[in-house]
Amino acid sequence: MSRIKALFQRKKEKILNVYFTAGYPQLDSTVEIIKALQAHGADLIEIGMPYSDPLADGPVIQASSAIALANGMTIVKLFEQLKAAQSEIKVPLILMGYMNPVLQFGFEKFCAEAAQVGVDGLILPDLPEYEFETEYGAIIKKYGLNFIFLITPETSDARIKKLDELSTGFLYAVSSSATTGSETDFNAVEKYLYRLQALQLNNPILVGFGIKDKESFTAASKYASGAIIGSAYIKALENAEHVDEITAHFLSKILK
């Protein structure tokens, strides 16, 4: 059983997935951040692979990507960092990124190396459903990686059910059609999540985009298994001299 599936079997509510950008704020921050998140209560960790044109990301994550790339972060470097710390990481890890750099690296090579360094799952928002079914899904499965599709309030019930069938691990419910870090109307989100709950999907649901504090995390968790926080954590890291201290403070405000 994958670590992601084991997590959702063990914990049924208020699962906290925290996103950060690999190579931000410093090139060597990656492992330090993972250890801090693991130590202070994150259930899942989503590592963003920086890319020059991150379509789904808002200004905070875009800026962190630009800095990470300027710092010299690459897929090769990220895999080296994860391999060095593999024995110390117990929390499930998800890589989130875009197809262009993954294809340049080599898709099967990417999946093989990701699995080898302890990655549990992938989120590739621009991998279309058809290509997943006909080509890439079999490769992802071959290396034992979970794959998480994104759904939005505009996604039809039929398509949600289809993406639920194809996903393993969980479904990523985008709270609105905005980019990451946007303000979110949680009355509208509640109706959307209630609709998802009524579909009786196979996968648990985590809510992302606009989750930034205890209030939004609690609201998102009401009709879902938990939520994903990204931009707010990256903002907290911006001038962090002590990653562990900042992370402990940030997570305590959400989980207390």
Sign of CA dihedral 142, 169, 149, 31: negative
DSSP 25-75: SSTTHHHHHHHHHHHTT-SEEEEE---S--TT--HHHHHHHHHHHHHT--H
Joined tokens for residue 56: 């789904």
| Cα 30 to Cα 59: distance, rounded to the nearest angstrom | 20
Catalytic residues: 46, 57
Q: Are 94 and 44 in contact (CB under 8 A)?
A: yes
Cα 96 to Cα 20, 99, 158, 162, 218: the distances in Å are 10, 10, 25, 21, 24
| Cα 118 to Cα 82: distance, rounded to the nearest angstrom | 7
| Cα 100 to Cα 73: distance, rounded to the nearest angstrom | 15
Q: Facing residues of 146 across strands?
A: 121
* Single-letter code of the amino acid located at 143: Y
* Single-letter code of the amino acid located at 56: A
DSSP 172-226: EEESSSS-TT----HHHHHHHHHHHHHTT-SS-EEEESS--SHHHHHHHHTSSSE
